[in-house]
Every structure is written in structure tokens, then in C-alpha cells.
């Protein structure tokens, strides 16, 4: 680990989506994430100690990415259950696995991953460390 880093972890990321409701439904059904709907600010998906803020395309919150784009996401989530459970859930929910399970090298070492697409065609990787 780099001892001079000033950053501890990621708190949240933002996805621009065609339909916030469709995105909330997908991540809730497929990965068990919970929706947070504050009175002010974006709807978010909660999981572990993290969240994904959802911006409706064309109605993004400020500040925002320079060119917010539906489907430009590509990220990795670490499973809290064995990867076999994730694969079974994807199959049960009829979510096509594009790649995997396959070995990858994550931030803290070797892991096994599966890749699939969300409703906006963002590439979602779910992984489990050995």
C-alpha cells in the first residue's frame, strides 16, 4: 500500500440513467440494493458503506460530469456473499453474464469476477476476493 496516499476509499459514484425508477428496480431486484430518496438531492442506491447517486439524463444535479452520458459507467462491486450466489441470482433474474466467472486482479489482490450490463448498458463487475 502506498503510505503517502491521502485517500481512504470511495464514498459514492454517480450514474446518469435514462430512467431512475428502472435503475432502482434493477439494482434492488438483482443485487439487493436499497433506494434512498431524499427530499433534496438525487435518488441513491445504498449498499454496504457506499452509494450510487442516480442522475436522470437531462436533469442532472450540479455539479456534474462535463459530459454526463447514459451507459458510460464501468465499475466493480465487491460481493458480500460467495460469487456463486451472485451468479445464481443473475441467472434467476435472467441477467445475461457477459464474462465470467473469471480471475482478475483487484485493488487488494486476486479475485473472481462476473460482468453484466444494467438497463442503461453500463458494465457492472461483481467480484469476490479469494
Enzyme catalytic residues: 125
Of 37, 118, 24, the C-alpha closest to 72 is 118
Give the span between the Cα atoms of 12 and 9, in whole angstroms.
9
- Do residues 55 and 68 make contact, with C-beta atoms less than 8 angstroms apart? yes
Give the span between the Cα atoms of 15 and 24, in whole angstroms.
11
Scanning the structure block, which residue is given the C-alpha cell 443485487?
31
Helix or strand (DSSP H, E) at 47? strand 43-47
Q: What does the block give as the cell for 100?
A: 465470467
Amino acid at each position: 500500500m502506498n503510505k503517502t496516499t491521502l485517500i481512504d476509499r470511495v464514498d459514492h459514484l454517480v450514474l446518469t440513467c435514462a430512467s431512475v425508477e428502472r435503475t432502482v428496480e434493477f439494482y434492488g431486484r438483482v443485487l439487493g440494493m436499497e433506494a434512498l430518496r431524499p427530499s433534496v438531492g438525487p435518488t441513491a442506491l445504498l449498499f454496504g458503506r457506499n452509494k450510487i447517486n442516480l442522475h436522470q439524463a437531462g436533469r442532472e444535479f450540479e455539479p456534474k460530469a462535463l459530459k454526463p452520458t447514459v451507459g458510460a459507467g464501468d465499475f466493480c462491486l465487491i460481493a458480500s456473499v460467495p460469487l456463486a450466489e451472485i451468479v445464481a441470482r443473475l441467472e434467476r433474474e435472467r441477467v445475461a453474464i457477459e464474462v465470467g466467472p473469471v480471475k482478475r486482479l483487484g485493488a487488494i489482490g486476486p479475485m473472481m469476477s462476473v460482468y453484466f450490463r444494467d438497463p442503461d448498458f453500463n458494465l457492472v463487475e461483481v467480484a469476490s476476493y479469494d
